[in-house]
Structure 1
Amino acid sequence: MRRIFIGLIILISSVSFGQKRDFQITHNNEKIVGINLIDNTEIKGTEYIFPERIHDTFLDTTNGFLTVQLRGLRKEKWLSNKGNILQYDLNNKNLMWSKKIAYQASSLQQFSNTMILTVANKSNCLDIRTGNVIWEVKNSIYYVDPIDNIGIGYRFKSSTGYSNELEGIDLKSGTVIWKRDLNREYGWNDIFYINDTTMIVVAAGLHSININSGKGWDYNTITGKKDYTGTVAANAVGVAAGLLTGTFVMSTGHNLVRDVVSNSLVDSSYIYFASKEQLSKIEKETGSIVWKYPFPSDLASKSSIFMNDSVIFMVNRGYAFMGYRQLDFGKPFIGAFDRETGQQKYLTLINVKKDPILGFEILDDEMYLVFKNRIAKYSVENGNQIIEKEFPQENYGDLKYFIGNQVFVTNEKEDLISLTQSDTSKVFVFTNQGKTLSIDYQLNVTNTIEYEDLSIYYLRTKDYKFVAKDKQTLIINDNGKRIAEIDATTNAFLIGETLYDKRDNSFIAIDLREIIKNE
C-alpha cells in the first residue's frame, strides 16, 4: 500500500532514545492454537510472551525484527499513558533495544526499514537496529510514501505554531526537498493516487501533489463551516486522530464544523466531488472544472456519491462533525445529475428535521434509506418515494446501518456464507440492540438474527477465507466448507503463508501450510 498515515498528538514531552532495559520475553514453539477440521489434528504455532499488554506491533520480515509497543491498563480498565517500545529479533530470540514512550505525547509509525517517532512538534527517524536518532525535523510527519521514501507534514514554527506550509521530507536524510502552501483549516479528508507519483489530497478541495517535487494544481472549495457560537483554545486540538478525520490543529481557535464533503469518484480522466458549495467534475490532469452544480448555503452536508455510465447519484446525509461529535447539518436529500453535463435529473428533499440518513443500499434499482427509527425506499430512476415505514424504538431499538458483505452466517448445511448473499431479495439492518433485521421489499421484518450468530470475514488467500467470531477464526474454502479453527482475532494479518496475531501480552505466528496441507 502506498498510503501510510501517522496520527500525532501535539503536546510537550521528552523521550530518551536507544536504551535497553531488562524485559522478560519467552517463546513457545509448541503452542496449541487450534484444530485441523479435515483430519482432527492439533494446530501449533509459536508464541512470544511479553511482560505487559501489547498495544501495537510491526513485523519487518526482511530482517526478522518485531517492534512491540507495550501499554498496560490502569485499574484493569483505562489505557495507561506510559509504556515501552521494544525491538525484538525473532531469528536470534533476543531484545535489541527498548525505550519509554508517553502515548499522550508521542506516536510511532513504521514501514519497511524506516521508523518515525513523533514527540510534540518534532519527528525523529530512528535506527531500527539501535533505536538511536538518525535525524530530527520540526515537522509532524503524518503521511509517508514508502516507495519514494518521502514523508509529508506541516512545518512547525515556534512563533506561530503550525502553518499552512506543507513540506516534503527525504526520509533517508531528513532533508526538506519541497515546500507548498496547502490549506489545513478544515482538516484532511482523504489521500489517493492518480498515477505512480501524483497524489490527490482532499483538504478544503482537491489538490494534486507530485510526491517528488510538491508541484500540482489546486481546486479550492469549502468543506466545513466556522462556528462562532463558541471558542476553544488555539492549537488545543492535536492531530491524534490524524488529518484524515478532519481534527488537525486549528490555528483560528474557533469551533469548526468539518466533513461537509463526499467521497471522491475517479474515472480515467475525471474526478467527481461534492463539497458544501457544489458538486463538481474536475479534469484529473489539470484541475480544470468541467462542470459544477451549486448548492444553497444551508443544503449540503456529509454525503456519498456513486455513478453508473451516465448518471452521478448523491446521498446527502444531513449531518457533519464538530471534533468527534456528530451534529445535524444541512438537509437530507437524494439527487441524480447527468455525468457529462452536470444537469440535475432530480433532487428529492427529505423534509424531516434532525433525522439524518444513516445509511443507504441499492437493490433492484431501488434505494433503501435507513434513519434512526424508520426506513424509506425511493426509485433510483426518478427519485420518487415508493414506501416508508416506522420502526418504533420500543420494539426494535435504534436502527444503525445496513449490513455489508463482510458479515457471514451459518446456513442449513453448516457452511459459512455472506449474509447479504444468503437472500438477495432482502436488505439487512443492524440495531443498537445488537440484532440484525431482515427486511423485505415491503419493509416488513422477516427475520431477526442475533449478534452471536454473526461472524466477520476479514482476510483471504487465493483459495481460503478467514472468518472470525470473538477471538476464534474459522478458515473456510470458497464453498464455505470449514477447514480449520484457530485462536485468532480480526486483527490477525498474513505475510506469505504465515498468520500473525496479538492477544493480551502474546504475539503468535502460525504457519498455514500445516493447516491446509491435507485439505
Structure 2
Amino acid sequence: MKGAFVLLLILVGFSGMAFGQTLSQWFLVQDSIAGMSYVTDLPVTAIRYGTPGKIYRWHWDGNSDNLLLELRETNKKGTSFKNGGTLNMVGLSDKELKWVREVNYNSSELKQQGSYYFLTDKKKNFCIDPETGAVLWENKNDFYFIEPFLNIGVGYPIQSMSNKLTAVNLSNGKELWYRDLDRSFGWDDAYMLNDSVLLISTNGLRAVHLVNGAGWSYKANTTKKEIGKMIGVNAFGLLLGVFTGVYTYQDQPDVASDMVSNMLIDPDESIVLASRDQIARVDNAGNVLWTTPLPEKITSKSSLFLVDSVVYMINRGYAQYNGGFSMIGDPYLAAFDLKTGNRLYLTLILEKKEFIRNFQVVNDMLFVVFEDKIGFYRLGDGTLIKEKVIELQKDEHLDAFVESGIYWKRNDSEFTDLISEFSNYNLMMTTQGRVFVLTDSLERVFAYDKEELYHIATQNPRYALITNNDSDFVVLDASDNPVAALKASGEMFLYRDKLYFFDKDSFSEIDLSQLSQPASISVWQSIFKQVSRFIPNSYN
C-alpha cells in the first residue's frame, strides 16, 4: 500500500507539472476545497489563480472568453493604492495572459461599455482591442450611450462642459455628426425608439437618428432656478457687509432639477412625459398630440404607467436640489385619458415631510409606500381605501416591494422562492432586509428576518447562487433544489458552467459540472487534487 501511495504521488506530481506548463507563468495556481456537493456527497474543488498584484477592478462583457483585470500598485502595507498599475487581459478557457498594458491612475481610467473597452487619458479616449490590447483609434468623446448593432456611440467631449453631442463610428472612431444638446443636469433617460432612432430625455425629449443625426425635439420644464432667492441672499450679504465688514456673495442660483417622469411609450409608439408644469403626449414623429397643465407648485419627480387607455401619474414628492436629494412638492395621484389628455382626477396625499418611496399596482388597486405606512387607493377614481402603519424596529423604514429573487430557507434541503410561495400576497422589504407578507387589506401574515432570507448573487439557465451574507452560497438547480454549498466572495459571475469569483489578489474558478458527476470519477478527481496539494509547486 505504501508503494502504491508513493506511485500515486509520483503520478500526481507528473500530472501537476504537465498541467502547470500549459498555464501562463503569470499565475500562482493552487487547488482548494470550496464546498460540498449534495448530489455526489463529495468536496467541490476550486482552482485559485493568484495574480502578481492587487486586483483593483475586473471586467467581463457577459459573453466572451475575455477577462480583464486591473492590477494596481499599493503601498508597502497594502492598505492604499498608488497611481501605477496595469491592464491585463486573460483568456478564461486557457488562462493565458493575452496582453498587458501599463496605466497611470492619476490621469487615466478604464471604462467598459458592453463589449467595448475605452481608456481615457486626460482629454483623449482610446478604444482598446480586447484581443491584442492595441489602440484601435482615439477620440475626444466620453460616451453616454452605445448602440452595438449599428456600432455607433454618442457622447460629449471629455473634461468639458460642452453641450456638443457627437456620434462616433465605433469601428474606426470617425465622427458622424454633432448636435447641441444640453446636459447641464445629465440625461434623465435614453431609449431606442426603433432600430435606428435614439430617444433622449433631457429638458424634454430629443429624438436623433443615430446614422445621420436627423430628428426632432420637444421642450419641457424639468428644472427651476431660484434667481429671486439668489438676489435676496446677495442683498442681505451686502447689507451685512456694511455693518460687519464681511461680505457674502452667491454667484450661482440654487437649482431644483429632475422634476420629470419616466418616458412612457404607449402601444402607438407615442411618448407620454410629465414635467414640472405639464404632461404631454408626443407621437414618434415629434408632433405634440396634447398637453395638460399640472399644478407647478407641488409637482416634482413623477412616475407614469398605463392601464388600458388611462395614463396614471404618481408624483413622488422629491427631486434634486443643487445636485442632492430633497423633498420638493407634495405627493399626489392623477389620471389622464390617453387619447385626449383630459384629466380624470387628481388626488392629493396629505403627508407632511414625506415622499412616496415605492408603489405597486394590483388589479384595480394602487399600493403607495411611505416611511412607515402603506396606503392603497382605487385606481378607477383615486380614492383612498385604507392606510396601514407597519410596526418597525428602530431606524428601520419601508423600502420596496419584492418582485423576484428572494428565497426563504425552510431547512437545509429546501429553499422557497417567496414570490412563488405567496403569489396572492404583497411582499414588502424594509431597509434592514426584513420582508413582510401582507394581504391586499394590508394585514400581516408573516414576517421574515434578514437572517432567514437569501438573495440571488448570480444565475444562468442551469444554476442560481443564493446567499444571505455574500460569503456562504447555496447552488440551486433549475428547479430550485439545492445541489451544493460553497464558500466564495460576492464578486462573481457565471460563464457557461463555470463560476468565477474574486478577492483582492486572486480569482478562482469552479467547474459546476463536478456537482453532478458520477461518483467514481469525482472520487478519483478529489483524491488527485488533495494529494497534489502536497507536491512542490512547479509554477514558481
What's the TM-score bracket when you normalise by the shorter of the two chains? 0.7 to 0.9
SS in 2 for 1:183: coil
Structure 1 residue 99 corresponds to structure 2 residue 99:
no
Summarize deviations over 1:289-314 as a string: whole Å, max 9, x none.
22222212223222222122222222
Summarize deviations over 1:181-224 as a string: whole Å, max 9, x none.
11213310222212222221121122222222222221221222
Query: In structure 2, how many angstroms separate the alpha carbons of the residues matched to 1:121 and 1:471?
Result: 40
Q: Specify the alignment match of 2:506 in structure 1.
A: 506
SS in 1 for 2:514: helix
Does the 8 A contact of 1:108 with 1:116 survive in 2?
yes
**Shift of the alpha carbon at 1:25?**
4.4
Q: Specify the alignment match of 1:349 in structure 2.
A: 348
Does the 8 A contact of 1:186 with 1:256 survive in 2?
no
Structure 1 residue 306 corresponds to structure 2 residue 305:
yes
Equivalences for residues 32-111 of structure 1 within 5 A: 32-59=33-60, 64-70=65-71, 80=81, 82=83, 84-90=85-91, 91=94, 93-94=96-97, 96-102=99-105, 105-110=107-112
Summarize deviations over 1:19-68 as a string: whole Å, max 9, x none.
xxxx9942436343333221222333433222444332224799854311
Query: In structure 1, how many angstroms separate the alpha carbons of the residues matched to 2:324 and 2:409?
Result: 37
Structure 1 residue 164 corresponds to structure 2 residue 157:
no
Does the 8 A contact of 1:135 with 1:174 survive in 2?
yes
SS in 2 for 1:141: strand
SS in 2 for 1:381: coil
Q: CA RMSD in A?
A: 3.4
Query: In structure 1, how many angstroms separate the alpha carbons of the residues matched to 2:511 and 2:35?
Result: 12
Q: Structure 1 residues 434 and 72 mapped into 2: Cα distance closer, same or farther (>3 Å)? A: farther
Does the 8 A contact of 1:471 with 1:489 survive in 2?
yes
Q: Which moved more, 1:492-501 or 1:145-154?
A: 492-501
Q: Specify the alignment match of 1:365 in structure 2.
A: 364
Does the 8 A contact of 1:24 with 1:51 survive in 2?
no
Q: Specify the alignment match of 1:297 in structure 2.
A: 296
SS in 1 for 2:161: strand
**Amino-acid identity (%):** 28
Would you tell me which structure has more helix in proportion to its own residues?
A: 2
For structure 2, which runs of at least 5 residues remain unmatched after alignment?
1-23, 232-250, 520-540
SS in 1 for 2:164: strand
Q: Specify the alignment match of 2:243 in structure 1.
A: none
Summarize deviations over 1:359-388 as a string: whole Å, max 9, x none.
112234322211113221211222111112
Does the 8 A contact of 1:186 with 1:223 survive in 2?
no
Query: In structure 1, how many angstroms separate the alpha carbons of the residues matched to 2:509 and 2:403?
Result: 29
Query: In structure 1, how many angstroms separate the alpha carbons of the residues matched to 2:82 and 2:301?
Result: 33
Amino acid at match of 1:355: E
Query: In structure 1, how many angstroms separate the alpha carbons of the residues matched to 2:388 and 2:121?
Result: 52
Summarize deviations over 1:368-424 as a string: whole Å, max 9, x none.
211113221211222111112334666673333333322221247953233233224
Equivalences for residues 184-263 of structure 1 within 5 A: 184-228=183-227, 254-263=253-262
Q: Structure 1 residues 380 and 476 mapped into 2: Cα distance closer, same or farther (>3 Å)? A: same
Does the 8 A contact of 2:261 with 2:304 survive in 1?
yes
Q: Structure 1 residues 113 and 364 mapped into 2: Cα distance closer, same or farther (>3 Å)? A: closer
Q: Which moved more, 1:384-393 or 1:348-357?
A: 384-393
Query: In structure 1, how many angstroms separate the alpha carbons of the residues matched to 2:78 and 2:441?
Result: 45
Does the 8 A contact of 1:31 with 1:47 survive in 2?
yes
- Larger Cα-atom Rg: 2
The size of the alignment, in residue pairs, is 472
Amino acid at match of 2:40: D
Q: Specify the alignment match of 1:136 in structure 2.
A: 138
Query: In structure 2, how many angstroms separate the alpha carbons of the residues matched to 1:78 and 1:414?
Result: 41
Does the 8 A contact of 2:276 with 2:294 survive in 1?
yes
Does the 8 A contact of 1:375 with 1:388 survive in 2?
yes
